[in-house]
Amino acid sequence: MKRKIVCVISAATGDLVIVGEDELQHAARHFVLPRSILVELLTVILKDPSEVFLDTSKPSKLYKIYYKLEDNRYLLVIVKILKEGAFFASMYSTGKKVKARHSKMKRIKI
């Protein structure tokens, strides 16, 4: 099965994050935004995150990338790191704080 790639974004983590069509459509369910603005929002979060955590509890590593909005709410982007590359997995709002289980993970300095 071939993955339809929407774009590739250079993230603050140093990874080139591959954004697939299916994953972008999944994230779009959480936001009422035109597609081009959703991609721009994703780009801003990946390039200028507020906090980044690394989950190494699973076979594939996961970055939990947070972006703090002006009203103190957070958006979360999840990036899965595989031997084939870094892949966008999901994006959604987490409310006014970083999830407690994420704050226990390794914090990455950007």
Over its length of 110 residues, how does the chain's per-residue pLDDT go in tens digits?
577 999 999 999 999 999 999 999 999 999 989 999 999 999 999 999 999 999 988 888 999 999 999 999 999 999 999 999 999 999 999 999 888 888 788 899 88
Q: How far apart are CA 34 and CA 10, in angstroms?
A: 22
pTM, rounded to two decimals: 0.91
Q: How far apart are CA 100 and CA 97, in angstroms?
A: 8
Please name the residue ranges forming H helices in the chain. 21-28, 35-47, 100-103
Q: How far apart are CA 53 and CA 58, in angstroms?
A: 14
Q: What is the dihedral of CA 66, 71, 72, 78, to 10 degrees?
A: -20
Q: Is residue 49 within 8 Å of residue 65, measured between CB atoms?
A: yes
SS3 1: coil
Domain ranges for the chain, please list them: 5-108
